[in-house]
Structure 1
Amino acid sequence: MTKRIFQSILLVTLASLAVSLAFFTAILFPYFENRLADELAQELAYLAPGAVSGGSEYLRQAGAGGNRLTLIAPDGSVLFDTTADPAGLENHADRQEVQQALAGQAGRSVRYSKTLDKKTINCALLLSDGNVLRVSSTQYTGFALLLSLIQPMLMVLALTAVLAGLYAYRLSRRLTRPLNEIDLEHPQPSQAPYEELAPLLRRLAHQKRQIKSQMQELQRQQQQFEAITENMQEGFLVLDAAGSVLSHNSGAARLLNLSSPPTGKNALELGLCEEFSQPVRQALSGDHVESLIPLHGRQCQLFANPVFQGDQLAGTVLVLVDVTEQQQREALRREFSANVSHELKTPLTSISGIAEIMRGGLVPPGDVPHFAGKIYDESQRLIQLVQDILRLSQLDEDSVLEKPQPVDLMACLRRAADQLASAARAQNVQLAVRGGSVWIQGVAAILDEMVFNLCENAIKYNRPGGSVELWAGADVRGPVLTVSDTGIGIPPEHHARVFERFYRVDKSHSKEIGGTGLGLSIVKHGAAFHHAQVELESTPGVGTTVRLLFPASAQVPAEPL
């Protein structure tokens, strides 16, 4: 702005000077020309008496070193001239000033010489003897005079330009200094250096308040958006039309296992699998894509949605949903359904076959009690299987009907030992209960099932002459319940899966051993219900120890007798 003000002031000053010079030149030249004509007329009046009385000799003396004097006869012939030989001059009867003088008027004319770029002013007067006396003065034309004055005029213009430049510089600085000192961060109309700027500052203050309000609203929306997206389990990426990542959330970085922020990078160059790149390419071409893709050992559902502005593709939104657990649950559901169907089908087939034989009268009367006992055993197996499935369902859905109350872990061990004493004798296994009373807040029915299943497995998978030890107590971590046996043990590769539903280490002997295959799964889910940890230590051929560690907060004082 300072530069423009400086240039404007300087140009206006120089233009004004040039116009003034032209204006004065246009006025002064005609003025001086008229003054010169008047002086020549006065000179004629002064010379006229002498010219009549003295003739040519007088004119020769009067015209020496002055203006040109010419004496012209009434017929136009030149009688005398101070600058040329009269004999060589042409007749002057056709000259304007001579004609005017012969007519009794004040003769006057101006003639230009293009060759010499000069003009001649002529004044003529009719003398008393009938002759005409003419005085001529030659001067430069305005253009020639300007050419002769060009150097001093240029000097004047240069000096004027310097002075005008200094003045324009100081004036422009003085004009813009108050503008530069305006606090645009806090514009106040009352602080306007010029009255004309007050509306502008008022408008700026209003716009600044609007912008501040809008920025605060945008920041609030941005923070809200980030708070929502950063707490999403799903991942999302926003791509431009070329595939470069414009925005992403932490869920996307986690699912894609990115070591650095992908913003600014092309999604196709993130080094991911082809199953990811192919849907992205389809979305960038304008297609909506849904695809199940593997990502770093997990299964993710990818939704790729192109975004259009009119008919132009503006970008793409990618949404990643981790469905690994859903897939696993679905697989477990299918496996569970298959296992339940198999476990139910075996005893039902046996019951149906025996019943069919008995109905056909093919069973001798003496064998009926035996076959009835088989039906009873298989039905009891079905009842136990259904009960175990119902208990697992309750634990899965957290719909246990019993309310937690103080339970003595030692009492649970003794009840399990009493129930399994005959089974232990049949297997030639020594069953021992040790430790002391430890009371926790829990559900007695679930704890009894957990201990019963652990003790039953310890007896089933023991060797003849082996032993099972049940122990209850507490350590620095909290209440502890332990079931140890000297049985066949569990190979290390099966440790992580023995608590799965229907999982058996040795499937070939599962029918001989019996059971529903849900015992350890009930132990696992019952421990989770009581916020306990399950520890398994097992060595093939040596034995197995299962330890339940209850939180210290679960322990309660002993219930009074």
Structure 2
Amino acid sequence: MKLQKKIGRSMLLMIILTLVVSYLATTIIVYRQTIDIVENELEQEADYMIAAMEMAGEDYLAQIDAVRRPTRVTLIDENGTVLYDYNEAALQENHKSRPEVISAMKTGEGRDIRRSSTLNKDMVYYAKELKDGRIFRVSKSVDTAFILSLRVLPYIGIIVLIMALIAWRLSKRQVAKIIEPINKMDVENPLHNEIYEELTPLLVNMDEQIREKELVAKMRREFTANVSHELKTPLTSISGYAEIMKDGIVRPEDMQNFSERIYKEASSLISLIDDVIKLSRLDEERVVKTEPVDLFQLSHGVITRLTPLAKKSKVRLELTGEPVEIMGDYRILDEMITNLVENGIKYNREGGSVAVWVGKTLQGVRISVSDTGIGIPKDQHERIFERFYRVDKSHSKEVPGTGLGLSIVKHGAALHKMGIFVESEEGKGTTIILGTEYFK
């Protein structure tokens, strides 16, 4: 639905509702005022008629009916018997139980408003006790108030039509004024617009989404460029060695060395592709498939699996702590701890160690992996989780790896509502802690 139609309908509905309420309120006020006027008139007429009847006798009542006054006159005795009423049906009913009659017998006068069963009209009654104990009652119809309301209704209808036309015209102009600054809004820089204060949350949200999209696009461009570079390097080496071997210009004694280099580059390439696939899968996952996972037992399996690599690098592995069970994705948690321990081995010194601790703290679950390796400069603690980032470029050439391990750890931690804390000093080793207490 267009905004103009929506505002126009809202304005028209409010006008109609206001007029209906005003009409009802006017009807009630007119009705109440009419009742007050009729009651006052009846009281005055009753006093006048009683005085005239005392002077001229009861024949005066017949004279009143002869001139067809709108006022109905009834004379009732002490027992409630109707002595006089121009309506013959009323003569056959006892009026002692009528509210105005009861009140007149007790206090000298009485009033009531009700629907007459004989006339089938809403009537205002006024009764007054005479000196001889009889009750003199006069009454009038109050249909006048409703008739007056019906007379006003056509004028209300005309006013509604006029106001509807005005509302339609005003809504067009008002919508145009409201929409104009929105149409002129700079959507590329939402916060630079001077616009309605009520739209500030929307603009802030738009700005955050734009910045997030720009960041994602930038990360994708960088990721694509890095992947292309990282893939090109081993492929170039493999292609070069293979071409030399194909041309037959490799000496027989060098054939094994060339084969080893091709195998090494192919292994590096496979490892890179595997990490890229893992990272892409983590990027796409929003909710992990959870199951009970014993982190201590999982860490024990990782250390057992990496023991041959540690022995080859002359690094000692150690696991301490206690069994801790959390709900998580076993596969992702295994990849996270494997990457941390593997990094601790790769970037360690000969004779160094990697210590893994798993347990609970007052704040939550914690896993820490500490090594005695080369360490990380403080100004690069945040950057180590960037994709393809290597702290020591020269040392990285000697150490196999893709530069994606810690990125996988970061994504996996986010999926498990875990935070990452880094303690490291260049030349003194590194401790990386995963824990629910660090998640914000």
Structure 2 length normalisation: TM-score?
0.56
Residue 480 to residue 358, structure 1, CA distance change in 2 (3 Å): same
Q: State which structure, 1 or 2, has the greater radius of gyration over its C-alpha atoms.
A: 1
Name whichever structure is richer in strand by fraction: 1
Whether 1:349 and 2:236 are equivalent positions in the alignment is yes
Give the Cα–Cα distance (whole angstroms) in 1 for the partners of residues 344 and 28 of structure 2. Answer: 91
Instruction: Write out aligned runs for 1:64-103 (5 A).
Output: none
Give yes or no for contact 1:454–1:520 (8 Å, CA) kept in 2.
yes
Whether 1:549 and 2:388 are equivalent positions in the alignment is no
Secondary structure of 1:540 counterpart? coil
Give the Cα–Cα distance (whole angstroms) in 2 for the partners of residues 352 and 536 of structure 1. Answer: 40
Secondary structure of 2:26 counterpart? coil
Residue 446 to residue 253, structure 1, CA distance change in 2 (3 Å): closer
Work out which structure has the larger RCO, using CA pairs closer than 8 Å and 6 or more positions apart in sequence: 2
**Segment drifting more, 500-509 vs 335-344:** 500-509
**Which residue, out of 14, 22, 25, partners 1:186?**
25
Residue 323 to residue 185, structure 1, CA distance change in 2 (3 Å): same
Whether 1:486 and 2:436 are equivalent positions in the alignment is no
Secondary structure of 1:504 counterpart? coil
Instruction: Write out aligned runs for 1:185-204 (5 A).
Output: 186-188=25-27, 191=30, 198=149, 201-202=152-153
Alignment correspondent of 1:250: 200
Give the Cα–Cα distance (whole angstroms) in 2 for the partners of residues 528 and 363 of structure 1. Answer: 50
**Which residue, out of 339, 348, 351, partners 2:226?**
339
Percent sequence identity over aligned pairs: 44
Shift of 1:406: 2.5
Alignment correspondent of 2:381: 495
Alignment correspondent of 1:326: 213
Structure 1 length normalisation: TM-score?
0.45
C-alpha deviations, 1:419-438, integer Å up to 9, x for none? 32233233332211111222
Alignment correspondent of 1:470: 356
Q: Structure 1: where are the runs of 5+ without partners?
A: 1-182, 256-299, 301-319, 553-561
**Which residue, out of 314, 318, 330, partners 1:428?**
314
Q: Structure 2: where are the runs of 5+ without partners?
A: 1-21, 35-143
Name whichever structure is richer in helix by fraction: 2
Whether 1:396 and 2:304 are equivalent positions in the alignment is no
**Segment drifting more, 472-481 vs 373-382:** 472-481
Matched AA of 2:299: L
Matched AA of 1:453: N
Give the Cα–Cα distance (whole angstroms) in 2 for the partners of residues 321 and 200 of structure 1. Answer: 61
Alignment correspondent of 1:360: 247
Give yes or no for contact 1:188–1:205 (8 Å, CA) kept in 2.
no
Shift of 1:408: 2.0
Residue 236 to residue 247, structure 1, CA distance change in 2 (3 Å): farther
Residue 542 to residue 367, structure 1, CA distance change in 2 (3 Å): same
Shift of 1:396: 0.6
Shift of 1:208: 9.0
Alignment correspondent of 1:443: 329
How many residues are paired up?
A: 289
Give the Cα–Cα distance (whole angstroms) in 2 for the partners of residues 190 and 529 of structure 1. Answer: 68
Matched AA of 1:532: M
Shift of 1:338: 1.0
Give the Cα–Cα distance (whole angstroms) in 2 for the partners of residues 204 and 496 of structure 1. Answer: 76
Instruction: Write out aligned runs for 1:121-520 (5 A).
Output: 186-188=25-27, 191=30, 198=149, 201-202=152-153, 245=195, 248-251=198-201, 254=204, 322-398=209-285, 403-520=289-406
Residue 369 to residue 249, structure 1, CA distance change in 2 (3 Å): same
Shift of 1:514: 1.9
Secondary structure of 2:25 counterpart? coil
Give yes or no for contact 1:453–1:523 (8 Å, CA) kept in 2.
yes
Give yes or no for contact 1:429–1:462 (8 Å, CA) kept in 2.
yes
Give yes or no for contact 1:189–1:202 (8 Å, CA) kept in 2.
no
Matched AA of 2:253: G
